Amino acid sequence: MQLILKDLPKISLNLWYSGTHWSKRKEIKDNYHWLIKSQFKHVFSKDKQYEVDYVFYFKGAPLDVTNCAAMVKLIEDIIFQDDNWKIINKITISSRKAKNKQRVEINVTEIN
C-alpha cells in the first residue's frame, strides 16, 4: 500500500538531541498525529509483518537521511498498532529535494 502525507513539519533528529523540552516534543507529536489522521485513517495491524519504505521530499534543503529518523518514528507510532521488530522487519529512508510540494511517500509491504 502506498500513502502520501503532505505538509508535515520538517523535524530533524537533531531537535531531539538538542534537549528540546518535553512539552515542545509533545506539541510536535500531537501536531503530527492530527495532520496524519486527517489524511490517513487506516492503522496497520499488529498481527502481520511489514517492510516500509519512506521517501521524504523537502521544498528547502533536504535533511540528511539519518535526521529523518525522528519523522519516521512519529509517523510509525501513528500508522501502526505496534512497531516492534516482529512486526516491522525492515525500513528504508530516502531524502530528496521536492520539485513542488513537500511530502513523504510511504510504501508499506505486507510480508506474511
Over residues 14-53, the pLDDT tens digits come to: 887 788 888 988 999 999 999 999 999 999 999 999 999 9
Domain ranges of the chain: 2-110
pLDDT(100) > 90? no
74 falls in which pLDDT band (50, 70, 90)?
A: very high
**C-alpha gyration radius of the chain:** 14
Domain 2-110: CATH class, spelled out: alpha beta
Q: Is the pLDDT of residue 85 over 90?
A: yes
Mean pLDDT value of segment 70-91: 95
Query: Mean pLDDT in the chain?
Result: 93
Region 47-61: what's the mean pLDDT? Answer: 96
pLDDT number for residue 16: 77
